[in-house]
Chain A
Amino acid sequence: MNSKMLFAAAAFVVATSAAAQAEETMTAVGWGGSWNEAYDKGVFQPFTAESGVKVTLDEWGGELAKLRTQIESNAIVYDFVSVEAPALEIGCAEGLFEKLPEAVYAEKDDYLPGTIHPCGMASDTWATVMVYDGNKLTDGPTSWADFWDVEKIPGKRGMLGQAQYTLENALMADGVAPGEVYNELRKEGGVDRAFAALDRIKPHVVWWTSSTNALQNLSAGEVVMTDLYNARVTAENDKGSNYKIVWEAGFFYGTDMWAIVKGAPNQAQAVKFVEFFAKPENQAGFPKLYAYGVGHKDVEKHLTAEQLERLPTSAKNLPYSAVYDTDFWAENKEALEQRFQAWLAQ
Chain B
Amino acid sequence: MTTSTRPQTAIDRAPGNWRPAFSRLLANRDLRLFLLVLPLLAFVVVTVVVPVAQFLYRAVDNDLLAENLPLTAASLASWAPDQGVPGEASFRALAHDIHNAREAGTLGQVAQALNQQITGVRNSFIKAALLVDEPDGVTPEELMQAIPALGETPLWALLQSAGSRWTDFYLLQSIDLERNAGGEIINVSADRAIFREIIWRTVVISVNVTLICILLSLPVAHVLANARAPWSNLLLALVLFPLWTSLLVRTVSWIIILQGEGPVNATLLFLGIVDEPLRLVYTRGSLYIAMVQVLLPLMILSILSVLLKLPKELLRAATSLGANWWQGYWRVLLPLLSPGILTGSAIVFVFALGYYITPTLIGGPRDQMLSSYVAQFTNKTLNWGLAGALAVQLMALLLIAGLGWAAFRKLQGARR
Any A–B CB pair closer than 8 Å: yes
Residues of A within 8 A of B (CB): 61, 63-66, 68, 90-91, 93-96, 156, 161-162, 206-209, 213, 216-217, 219-222, 327, 330-335, 337-339, 341-345
User: Which residues on A sit within 8 Å (CB–CB) of B109?
Assistant: 94
B262 CB to nearest A CB, Å:
8
User: Which residues on A sit within 8 Å (CB–CB) of B106?
Assistant: 94
Contact indicator A332/B119 (Cβ below 8 Å): yes
Binds A, one of B44-52, B73-81, B377-385: B377-385
B252 CB to nearest A CB, Å:
11
What are 18 contact pairs spanning A and B, CB under 8 A? Answer: A61-B379, A90-B108, A90-B112, A91-B108, A161-B365, A207-B365, A213-B281, A213-B282, A217-B282, A220-B259, A221-B260, A222-B260, A331-B120, A334-B115, A334-B116, A339-B191, A343-B191, A344-B366
B389 CB within 8 Å of chain A: no
B370 CB to nearest A CB, Å:
13
Contact indicator B276/A68 (Cβ below 8 Å): no
* The one of B116, B122, B379 that contacts A65, using a Cβ cutoff of 8 Å: B379
Contact indicator B190/A342 (Cβ below 8 Å): yes
Contact indicator A216/B260 (Cβ below 8 Å): yes
Contact indicator A207/B364 (Cβ below 8 Å): yes
**Within the assembled complex, what's the spacing in Å between the Cα atoms of A182 and B122?**
18
B115 CB to nearest A CB, Å:
6
User: Which residues on A sit within 8 Å (CB–CB) of B12?
Assistant: none
Q: A66's closest neighbor in chain B, by CB?
A: B379
Residues of B within 8 A of A (CB): 105-109, 111-112, 115-116, 119-123, 126, 190-194, 197-198, 259-261, 265, 276-277, 279, 281-282, 360, 364-366, 378-384
User: Which residues on A sit within 8 Å (CB–CB) of B120?
Assistant: 331-332
Contact indicator A345/B197 (Cβ below 8 Å): yes
Contact indicator B105/A220 (Cβ below 8 Å): no
Question: Given A216-B260, A217-B260, list of 10 further CB < 8 A pairs?
Answer: A63-B379, A63-B380, A65-B382, A68-B382, A90-B108, A93-B108, A162-B365, A331-B120, A339-B192, A343-B191
Contact indicator A93/B126 (Cβ below 8 Å): yes
A98 CB to nearest B CB, Å:
13
Contact indicator A338/B282 (Cβ below 8 Å): no
If A207-B366, A331-B120, A332-B120 touch, does A221 touch B276 (CB 8 Å cutoff)?
Answer: yes
**Within the assembled complex, what's the spacing in Å between the Cα atoms of A141 and B48?**
54
Contact indicator A94/B105 (Cβ below 8 Å): yes
User: Which residues on B sit within 8 Å (CB–CB) of A222?
Assistant: 260, 277, 279
Contact indicator A220/B194 (Cβ below 8 Å): no
* The one of B191, B276, B364, B382 that contacts A342, using a Cβ cutoff of 8 Å: B191
* The one of B261, B378, B382 that contacts A219, using a Cβ cutoff of 8 Å: B261
Interface centre among A93, A206, A208, A331 (most CB of B within 10 A): A93
B354 CB to nearest A CB, Å:
20
Q: A330's closest neighbor in chain B, by CB?
A: B122
Contact indicator B108/A219 (Cβ below 8 Å): no
User: Which residues on A sit within 8 Å (CB–CB) of B378?
Assistant: 65
Contact indicator A93/B111 (Cβ below 8 Å): yes
User: Which residues on A sit within 8 Å (CB–CB) of B112?
Assistant: 90, 94
**Within the assembled complex, what's the spacing in Å between the Cα atoms of A220 and B263?**
13
Q: B378's closest neighbor in chain A, by CB?
A: A65
B373 CB to nearest A CB, Å:
9
* The one of A156, A331, A342 that contacts B194, using a Cβ cutoff of 8 Å: A342
Q: Which 7 A-B pairs have the closest CB atoms?
A: A220-B260, A94-B108, A161-B365, A335-B119, A93-B108, A63-B379, A341-B194
If A68-B382, A161-B365 touch, does A338 touch B259 (CB 8 Å cutoff)?
Answer: no
* The one of B115, B276, B282 that contacts A331, using a Cβ cutoff of 8 Å: B115
**Within the assembled complex, what's the spacing in Å between the Cα atoms of A219 and B198?**
31
User: Which residues on A sit within 8 Å (CB–CB) of B260?
Assistant: 216-217, 219-222
Contact indicator B381/A333 (Cβ below 8 Å): yes
Contact indicator A206/B279 (Cβ below 8 Å): yes
